[in-house]
Amino acid sequence: MNRIIITLAAVLISLSCAAAPSDPTENLLPKPTSVTPGKGSYKLPATPLKVKVSGPDAAALDTLLASYGFQPVTKGKADVTVSYGSTDSEAYTLKVTSRGLEIKSEGAPGAFYGVQTLRQMLDSGLDSWPCMVISDAPRFPYRGVMFDVSRHFRTVDFIKKQIDAMTRLKMNNLHLHFTDAAGWRMPVESYPKLNTQAAWRPQTKWSDWVAAGTPYATEGQPGIYGGYYTKDELHDLIDYAAARHIRIIPEIEMPGHSEEVVAAYPEVSCSGIGSDLCPGKEATFTMLQAILDEVIDIFPSELIHIGGDEASKSAWHTCPDCQRRMQEEGLSDVDELQSYLIKRIERYVNSKGRRIVGWDEILEGGVAPDATVMSWRGVKGGHQAMAEGHDVVMTPVGYCYIDYCQDAPFTQPVSIGGYTPLGRVYSFEPADSTLSDAQLSHLLGVQANLWTEQVTTDEHAEYMYYPRTYAIAEIGWSPAAKDYDDFHRRALVMNSLLDSLGYHVFDLANEYGERPESLTPVTHLALGAPVTYATPYNSKYPAQGATTLTDGILGGWTYGDNRWQGWLTDIDLTVDLGRVQPLHMLSAAFMHSPGAWVHLPKNVVYEVSTDGVNFEKAGEAWCDVADDYQSIMMKPYTVPVDTEARYVRLRAKANDRPGAWLFLDEIIVN
């Protein structure tokens, strides 16, 4: 009898589980605003879902639905009904009822995003869904990705493939960086040498091109590398993106990052060479306005990106044309001269019914009144711009630059340096608690940037984009509350999906993680000892100030983690151990990351003293790593000793490369 009862109980439990289908929303990325459970369930049909659409230009959505494997219908019963109005709303509701599925929105974008949620729910593989209501809307109106097609030309098909991934992630802005020193990619009829010369180079790899002296080539020469888009290709790309509610924002760099322009048309520079255009010459504005006319003719985007970052401005100090312009316009310095150029370009773009967006350097010397700012040098520029009433897209380098390594550098392809893992990107909060409601009203959203100096192939580019772009998508769309473990789980699912679709994604499941030495504090004789700086650390990389080098905390994979202290000079430091004591080992680890101009010291000399006045050499360690070794590494400069001392002096000789940094995390004494 007991055996019968146990068997009956097992059957009832089994039936109960079968009657309660699993949740198809558990892997949604980005996470929706809310999911409200209902009663009952819906059994999905075995055939492709029939979808009936009602709304403006329903045929356009029908075309996409068919490409996604749905069966659009206009008559009869449908499994899914989609209805939307004529606004630009991105909000939607998705209802699962016992009779079928309903997607509703006040606008076509919202209906489209509801379809993307439905696609992800179908990816769960479940054939029975519990009834529910998904109410969803983006947290921010701007959710973007930047593609650097200047350093390495990408085909239209490649960009369309990435648009498809953006679509799944509900991202809506694609920023194309068309121009920079390494290649001009915009079609320009008015200045044809930008396409026939400035778009081509002899070397494929950017680093090889730089090492060769950045030469350009002429279209048609055998063996050259590069390219540019035709107007027809760009129109096709714009239409493809627009059908998926993605805006393409073109960027034309000015006045800096213009070596390729100067190479083709030296008359628009101060002296015929260099990276900056000359704001003192009218020929510069004639060219820029003609180029912008062609850009505006192709791109319907209200925002036109004009760069504005990292102009050296060095030639402007002595250029007679620049000095005359400054005198005529009453400008006090070259920052105001750059502002003059930006404001003049803004007036021209405004006259065409468009608005400019630029990197946060456009704030220097006074920002143009209606400009949108992309804050990349941290968040400070964005906060300033919002306080001044400017719209802002947050894209700070420490969180949103995905050209940095996403895992332990020795496991990764060559990159420009740094370490920005998925968790770091996900941790970014654009709406800082210090911002007022008035400032926050100007916060448009977030963007991921992939600069491709070291990213030659399409496969490498995808590897850098995914999964870190998922985090930007979630930050831009989902509520502010964060749960990294849950996000990481959903990111693994999205990675598997994209991998199955032919994308080359980073192996998140086997992530190595942070530098192990940085995870556990170290104990040594110099712990907490005061350090005298004969050569002060650079103000840009103070880490934790005077306590950094003896706090027992080692640095991670990136010099920007506030654990590594930086110098642009040789280093001369002295540690006071507090008393004379036996010493057996002296050590200090330095970083090597040549893509970021971070190099190991040529040598490190250790000296010891009992009185702090009379020092004797205790040992010396030399660099045994080639300057051009491309991978990031940490090298300890260690010497064994057998002495007694109270004071330990470290002198490190910087690499000879102009602008080379030295980064040090701890002086260890045992």
The pLDDT tens digits for 142-167 are 999 999 999 999 999 999 999 999 99
Which amino acid is it at 216?
Answer: Y
Angle of the 231-243 helix axis to the 156-168 helix axis, nearest 10 = 10
* Residue-level pLDDT at 161: 98
**pLDDT more than 90, % of the chain:** 93
Question: Half-sphere exposure of 371 toward its Cβ, with a 13 Å CA cutoff?
Answer: 31
Catalytically annotated residue among 257, 460, 592, 599: 257
Where residue 17 falls among pLDDT bands split at 50, 70, 90?
A: very low
> For strand 247-254 and strand 173-177, is the pairing parallel, antiparallel, or unpaired?
parallel
Query: Can you give the pLDDT at residue 4?
Result: 39
Mean pLDDT calculated for residue range 622-650: 94
* pLDDT for residue 622: 97
What is the mean predicted confidence (pLDDT) over 366-377?
88
| 71-72 and 173-177 strand pairing | unpaired
559: left (phi over 0), alpha (psi -120 to 50) or beta: alpha
Is-catalytic flag, 257? yes
Mean of pLDDT over the chain: 95
**Mean of the pLDDT values across residues 215-226?**
97
Which position among 180, 276, 346, 360 bears the catalytic label?
Answer: 180
Q: What angle do CA 103, 109, 113 make, to 5 degrees?
A: 55
Tell whether the model's pLDDT for residue 13 goes beyond 60: no
pLDDT given at position 515? 95
DSSP string, 174-219: EEEE-EETTEE-S--SSSTHHHHTTTEES-SSHHHHHHTT-----T
CA 109 to each of CA 60, 70, 113, 242: distance values in angstroms, whole numbers, following the listed order: 12, 18, 6, 10
Q: What's the pLDDT tens digit per position in 588-606?
A: 999 999 988 999 999 999 9
Question: What CA–CA distance (Å, rounded) separates 224 from 183?
Answer: 12
pLDDT above 70 covers a percentage of the chain that reads 97
Q: Does residue 318 register a pLDDT over 90?
A: yes
Q: Is 333 among the residues known to form the active site?
A: no
Local confidence band at 65 (pLDDT 50, 70, 90 cut-offs): very high
Q: Count Cβ atoms within 10 A of the Cβ of residue 516 and give its class: 0-12 exposed, 13-18 middle, 19 or more buried.
A: exposed
Answer yes or no: are the C-beta atoms of 593 and 555 closer than 8 Å: no
What's the CA gap between 84 and 82, in Å, rounded?
7
Reference 567, options 550, 590, 594; nearest CA is 590
At residue 548, φ and ψ (nearest 5 deg) are: -60, -45
Q: What is the pLDDT of residues 110-135, one digit of tens each?
A: 999 999 999 999 999 999 999 999 99
- Spatial contact of 588 and 664, defined as CB atoms under 8 Å apart: yes
The confidence score (pLDDT) of residue 16 equals 36
At residue 325 the predicted structure's pLDDT band, cuts being 50, 70 and 90, is very high
Can you tell me the mean pLDDT for 571-577? 98
pLDDT of 418:
87
Q: What pLDDT is attached to residue 10?
A: 41
Residues 433-453, mean pLDDT to the nearest whole number: 96
How far is C-alpha 74 from the chain's CA centre? 43
* Tens digit of each residue's pLDDT (9 = 90 or more) over 521-547: 999 999 999 999 999 999 999 999 999
Report the C-alpha gap between 394 and 414 in whole angstroms: 26
Query: CA of 105: how far to CAs of 99, 220, 243, in Å?
Result: 20, 51, 17
Q: Residue 55 corresponds to which tokens in the numbers above?
A: 């709304």
**Length of the chain in terms of residues written:** 670
Q: What is the identity of the amino acid at 24? A: P
Q: pLDDT tens for residues 329-359? A: 999 999 999 999 999 999 999 999 999 999 9
Is 180 in the active site? yes
Backbone phi, then psi, for 525, in 5-degree steps? -65, -25
pTM (two decimals): 0.92
Catalytic residue among 106, 310, 517, 627: 310
Cα–Cα distance measured from residue 69 to residue 81, given in angstroms and rounded to the nearest whole number: 16
The answer to whether the Cα torsion of 518, 521, 526, 529 is positive or negative is positive
CA separation for the pair 94, 103 (Å, rounded)? 5
Q: Which residue has the higher pLDDT, 482 or 22?
A: 482
pLDDT of 628 over the 90 cut? no
Distance CA 239, CA 262 (A): 32
